[in-house]
Structure 1
Amino acid sequence: MPNIDLVRVGKNLLKNTDTGESVELQSLWQDRPAVLFFLRRFGCQVCRWTAAEISKLEPDLSANGVALVGIGPEELGLEEFKKLGFFKGSIYVDEKKNCYNDLGFKRYTALSVLPAGLGKKVREVSSKASADGIRGNFSGDVLQSGGMLIVAKGGEKTLLHFIQDSPGDYLPLEDVTKALSISSQAKEGQKPVCNDDVCTR
């Protein structure tokens, strides 16, 4: 896990999608631990499914005083994302992508994104998302990757820093609860068995 300068990254500004005001990232973990889920795009099918998965933990996170926060790199697709209710936490936008850069969430190139987007992991999660009735679209910045950051109260330390390697990478719910030392009865969605015959983008 790469070392993160929480003081430096914490000063990056985010836009609160409910109020429109700018807040520092560190304000999200000032008073309580925070699970920060960085989406690739609000229209991304895999991101939508992962958002729905992590939202299964919201009651347990809330009961343990942990904030659940979603962060996107742009506003495009936000309205539909909110309307369809994929995510149960508060949502912010990192318009300058400073947090994405500081946390090492890579950008694909036009050449590398296609094989990554068609890889087995992405096809597996896409087929699961489709089975759950979750659709996506290709509007927005398709080259951005995401991940997750879990921070202790007051920015005391980084509890978990997860960087997507493939657009289909996501953290099991157990890894999130383990990082926070809490328990949960949330049932993870079954990752589908995938082969070239049954999985399509």
Structure 2
Amino acid sequence: MSVTELDSTIGNTLVTRVTDNTDVPIRSLYSNQPAVLIFLRRFGCQLCRSYALKLSNELHPILKQNNIAFIGIGLERFGLEEFQKENYFSGDLYIDEGKKAYQTLGLPYLGWFKGITDLFLRSTKAWNDETKKMGVQGNLKGDGFQLGATYVVGPNDGKVWLAHPQKDYGDHPSVDEIIKALRDNIPDFHE
């Protein structure tokens, strides 16, 4: 599914803010400022944790400096407490109960066979090596076959500046790709 603006696709979809268990429409996450939205596979996934940590360390300071929201959206609560306790993500966290946004966006669900074979792909192995170097560990609790995505969106209508749905477990946009999307769309963006 090609998504050019989030508002018409998932803007009205409710997600639960982790800090106070309040349901808010996704539109509210980018209505007043640009946002980087990370749809995480699982809070317990070590590859997701290392990606979240990498973005938190390398990207989030630049986002704060430019008043850009940094949002993580998970599909269930399994592993959330540990994810927060270990400070893998420095942005705001939300839960998409029932995977409504994931499904509407058409984010792939791998199933058993593809889910197992994707463990042996080059990109998954490469990201797993990076994860080991970072010392990040995970668990197998929860839905392990749902893939996530990274979106960089503009304020108001949620025009998509970068859409990167995962093709496999190790498929993530680089920090440089995210920064380029922001730099190309925000005239006074500074690093």
Verify same fold: TM over 0.5: yes
Letter in 1 for 2:135: G
Partner of 2:163: 161
Q: CA deviation at 1:7?
A: 2.5
CA displacement 1:36-79 (0-9 Å, x = unmatched) = 00110001111011101111211110111100000001011000
Partner of 2:33: 32
| Among candidates 134, 137, 147, match of residue 136 of structure 2 | 134
2:27–2:158 contact (8 Å) kept in structure 1:
no
CA shift in 2, pair 1:128/1:157, >3 Å: same
Partner of 2:15: 14
Structure 1: distance between partners of 2:144 and 2:158: 33
Q: CA deviation at 1:171?
A: 0.6
1:35–1:148 contact (8 Å) kept in structure 2:
yes
Higher helix share: 2
1:71–1:91 contact (8 Å) kept in structure 2:
yes
CA shift in 2, pair 1:73/1:157, >3 Å: same
Are positions 1:62 and 2:51 aligned together?
no
Bigger mean CA offset, 147-156 vs 26-35: 147-156
CA displacement 1:3-43 (0-9 Å, x = unmatched) = 34522411000000000000000000011001000110001
Structure 2: distance between partners of 1:156 and 1:26: 7
Structure 1: distance between partners of 2:173 and 2:80: 22
1:70–1:90 contact (8 Å) kept in structure 2:
yes
CA RMSD of aligned residues (A): 1.4
Are positions 1:89 and 2:76 aligned together?
no
Partner of 1:46: 47
Match of 2:71, SS state, is: strand
Partner of 1:2: 2
Q: Unaligned stretches of 5+ in structure 1? A: 185-201
Are positions 1:110 and 2:112 aligned together?
yes
Q: CA deviation at 1:177?
A: 0.7
Match of 1:74, SS state, is: coil
Partner of 1:170: 172
Structure 2: distance between partners of 1:60 and 1:174: 12
Letter in 1 for 2:167: D
CA displacement 1:105-164 (0-9 Å, x = unmatched) = 110111110001222211211121112110111111011000111110112511111111
Partner of 2:186: none
Q: Unaligned stretches of 5+ in structure 2? A: 184-188
CA shift in 2, pair 1:156/1:123, >3 Å: closer
What is the aligned residue count?
184
2:12–2:25 contact (8 Å) kept in structure 1:
yes
Q: Percent identity of the aligned residues?
A: 34
Match of 1:81, SS state, is: helix
Match of 2:97, SS state, is: coil
TM-score by length of 2: 0.92
Letter in 2 for 1:99: A
Structure 1: distance between partners of 2:47 and 2:105: 20
